[in-house]
Amino acid sequence: MSNGPLVKQQGSMMPANLRGPRTDRIRSASTAENITEFLVFTLGTARMGLPLESVQEILKLVAITEVPRASHEVLGILSVRGRITTVLDLRRRLGQPSVEPTRHTRILLVAGSDETLGLVVDTVLHVVRLREDEIEASSVVAADLPEHVLGLGRPRRRDAVRGVVGASETKGDSGEAEVIVLLDPDPLLRR
């Protein structure tokens, strides 16, 4: 089962807008059988992934309008094609100190069940396709993980990674596959 044919999906490769202007969209790319695609990004030293189908768009950092009295995690609002969208600093959301934006800073438009929010991340890396046996469920990893952690991903195959953008790929010295903290968008966006 796990070696079933990979369905080639249009648009499941890296979207053009990772390099270019903010207007293109990532096509929702559900996968064949039990393969899930995650968009991998960095936050500080950690690698994190969000299910690709939940990421609607990747925007370059643009001017964000501050919202007085909003909670600490809220950077502000911006208008995405006429729709007012709230932007969260993912670092603050996860209890890390925020940092100055760089030219790699991106806003991921992520769909939760309530609304679509913008999440500011340090660098967007690539899309990884994980088989079921490459994902460790959070319940297996540790009991006390926050509910927005879906599990840990350990891609084992070279061809799991699709496309490389922005910062250079830094693999562990041992040559062992990177560990990716897989996030569950719903509890992450619900506050």
Applying CB under 8 A, the span of 24-32, 70-78, 128-136, 140-148 interacting with another protein comes to: 70-78
Q: Which is nearer to another protein, 63 or 143 (CB)?
A: 63
Best CA proximity match to 159, nearest among 134, 136, 183, 122 = 134
Among 40, 58, 74, 188, binds another protein (CB under 8 A): 74
Q: Does 39 interact with another protein (rule: CB under 8 A)?
A: no
Closest CA to 132 of 14, 40, 42, 3: 3
Q: Please identify which residue in 77, 145, 161, 179 interacts with another protein, judged by CB under 8 A.
A: 77
User: Is 99 within 8 Å of 5 (Cβ atoms)?
Assistant: no
Token pair 């932007």 is at which residue? Answer: 87
Query: In this structure, are residues 12 and 29 in contact, taking their beta carbons and an 8 Å threshold?
Result: yes
Q: How far is CA 125 from the centre of its chain?
A: 9
Q: Which CB sits closer to another protein, 81 or 158?
A: 81
- Residues at the site binding another protein, with contacts judged by CB under 8 A: 63, 65-70, 74, 77-79, 82-86, 88, 114-117, 189, 191
